Structure 1
Amino acid sequence: MSVYLREELARAWAGQDPFEVVEHITGDVYRELEGRRTLRFELHEKAYFLKLHRGIGWKEIFKNLVQGRLPVLGASNEKAAIEALQAVDVGTMSVAAFGEKGQNPARQLSFIVTDAIEPSISLEDLAIEWREQPPSLQQKRAVMATVCHMARAMHEAGVNHRDFYICHFLLRNRTFTNDPDLAIIDLHRALIHKKIPYRWRLKDLASLYFSAFDVPLTLRDKLRFIRDYTGLPLREALNDQQKLWQQVEAKAQHLYKRAVRKGIIR
């Protein structure tokens, strides 16, 4: 069993079993899935997010593996990913509490509590606003440069998100500066490697690009991203990594067509 409680939660939950506490926390439920519950709650006028993981059972684990998907077994995955991003100064969530008990991965109980990032706006919602009120060139470039830097640093640290969409970037305080304060969230499916495999890098980059289709991106914007992400002169990046960027384009287009087919995008 492993438990971490930051000072204010250690005081608030003193003398109580933290696993019992999180089981009975109430708040605004954001997601309720088999084996995982996500909710926002407040304690002493401070807001937090709780992700409570209950074992999904061997049947669901095997089902995920047969379908070629890696199952999410608990909260430790997200905690490790947060710590990996913090180690390379990539903006992300802050852990206020964590707990894990049980050796059986199919029945393990775990939780993670993070500080709510408020006020903020997701880049997905910001893109919608931009359609009505286009940003200045300086604002757009500042956001894109920061997203690019975060993606590069995350991947160089061996972390891939697996749900790397612009909705999972939050702009703190909705404030624009030359260095926007962005945070990457929802890291429960992230994987950590010594060196990120090609296929996971491709998946992240294609997902990011697909999710930004509604952002008014110019060819120059895209080329600047490639240059800054690779850290190479543009001509060299396009020559040496031509296959990667062609596949990013193709996979992003495939994701878009699938989203249209499923009615997610109209």
Structure 2
Amino acid sequence: MFEKSEILDSELESFFSDVDPFVKIFQIEGDIYRKTANRETKKFSLGERTFFLKYHGPIGYKEVLKKLLKFQLPTVSAYPEWKALQKLSKLGIKAPTPLAIISRGFNPANSESIIITESVEPNISIEEILESQLINDVKANEKRKIIKKVAQISRSLHLNGINHRDLYLCHFLTDKNLDPDKEIFLIDLHRAQFRPKVPMRWAIKDIGGLIHSGMGYSLTERDLYRFFEVYFDKSLKEFSIKENKFLESCIDRAFRMYMKPLLNQIDITSNVVQENFYKQSGNNFRFIFRKEYKDLAKNLFPRIDEVMRSGEIIKDEEGHYMLVVSLKMNQFL
């Protein structure tokens, strides 16, 4: 069977010499982080060094056909992640260092591949920080630094033709001691796509997913504005006008993703109050209410760009933009 390998680390090269790597990986003792029918992620140690190993096994013709019928490309190899990690390194975006990739088989349905990276521990995902309320220990200026770095990474990806496809806060790793000056690492790039330019719909999916992953936590509307100021490299006033369509699409996608699991909990054939749904909705009512209010404002100001340009600015500073406008109610009747 055809086999191809690229091992950039001498210690790993020695470790896999004269053995079948696809037998060896299942003999390695380590901590399994994820395991499915055809994929496994494991952390293991060699001497004083720690590595992460990802195994991509055969997915079968049925899965390949199912994806193709949906006009989707199945993830059948570790090579997209290998390519992404190498490209991120050239761009200066921090990510796990790719050390080895081994594959065998031509047929996408029956091929196998392994990718090994250097561990980036000890780190913690931003999602874990939010879930554990550790974010309350982060000072305002430190929080702004973290938001800025996440926005810079997202901007750099899209400007260089890369869309992540799983761009969530759980895939941004930061210092376990919450030092905002430490680098933030981006992980899990096995579904990344590469083009000369990222199409808008894929950028919307990335940013919408990122916004969704922060909903329900202690992130604020102001945090969102700070993110977009860096992502667009424009002021709040400028991106609110020039990037309005993109912003609306991202936020709409985030809310659809947020509401889908909640709505799925409702049994439309039942007369019983859906307690769990209302409990979760109540906990996040403030965020949801803001969207409804925003939609109301859109109906009230159908020419919002024109209205904003005609207003008198009374406050324009970081995170705050206020103006006074004069409107005649018969404009909207």
* TM-score, normalisation: structure 2: 0.74
CA distance in 2, matches of 1:182, 1:131: 17
Number of the residue aligned with 1:86: 89
Given that residues 117 and 172 in structure 1 are in contact (C-alpha distance below 8 angstroms), is that contact kept between their aligned partners in structure 2? Answer: no
Cα pair distance change 1:215/1:135, threshold 3 Å: farther
SS in structure 2 opposite 1:84?
helix
Tell me which of 178, 198, 201 is aligned to 2:200. 198
Matched letter for residue 228 of structure 1: V
Q: Which residue of 2 aligns with 1:219?
A: 221
1:101 to 100, 104, 111: 104
- What per-residue deviation string (whole Å, max 9, x for no partner) do you get for residues 211-245 of structure 1? 11134233332222212101123322222211110
Alignment of 1:1-266 (within 5 A): 1-5=3-7, 6-130=9-133, 133-177=136-180, 179-261=181-263, 266=280
Q: 1:124 to 1:132 in 2, by over 3 A?
A: closer
Amino acid at match of 1:111: I
1:23 shift after superposition? 4.1
CA distance in structure 1 between the partners assigned to 2:144 and 2:212 by the alignment: 18
| Structure 1 unaligned residues grouped into runs of 5+ | none
**Mean CA deviation greater in 197-206 or 234-243:** 234-243
User: 1:29, CA displacement in angstroms?
Assistant: 1.8
Q: Sequence identity of aligned pairs in percent?
A: 32
- Give yes or no for contact 2:51–2:117 (8 Å, CA) kept in 1: yes
Q: 1:191 to 1:129 in 2, by over 3 A?
A: same
Given that residues 29 and 44 in structure 2 are in contact (C-alpha distance below 8 angstroms), is that contact kept between their aligned partners in structure 1? yes
Contact 2:147 2:226 in 1 (8 A): no
Contact 1:142-1:180 within 8 A present in 2 as well: no
Structure 1 position 134, deviation (Å): 4.3
Q: Deviations over 1:229-266 (max 9, x none)?
A: 01123322222211110011111011111133457994
TM-score w.r.t. length of structure 1: 0.92
CA distance in 1, matches of 2:233, 2:96: 26
Q: 3-state SS of the aligned residue for 2:114?
A: strand
* Equivalent position amino acid for 1:125 in 2: E
The letter of the residue matching 2:20 is: D
Asked whether the 8 Å contact 1:37–1:52 carries over to 2, the reply is: yes
Alpha-carbon separation, structure 1, partners of 2:250 and 2:193: 19
Q: State the one-letter code of the partner of 2:218.
A: P
Residue-pair matches, total: 265
Match of 1:196, SS?
Answer: coil
CA distance in 1, matches of 2:198, 2:13: 36
The separation in 2 between residues aligned to 1:51 and 1:152, in whole angstroms, is: 27
Runs (5+) with no aligned partner, structure 2: 266-275, 281-333
Give distance in 2, aligned partners of 1:187 and 1:132: 26
* Whole-angstrom CA distance in 1 between matches of 2:177 and 2:194: 30
Q: 1:84·1:159 contact (CA, 8 Å) conserved in 2?
A: no
1-side partners of 2:109 and 2:133: how far apart? Answer: 44
How far the C-alpha of 1:128 sits from its partner, in A, is 2.2
Q: Secondary structure at the match of 2:103?
A: strand
Stretch deviating more after TM superposition (77-86 or 43-52): 43-52
Shift of 1:68: 4.3
Change (3 A) 1:139 1:129: farther
CA radius of gyration, larger in: 2
CA contact (8 A) 1:143 1:180 kept: no
Equivalent pair of 2:129/2:135 in contact (CA under 8 Å) = no
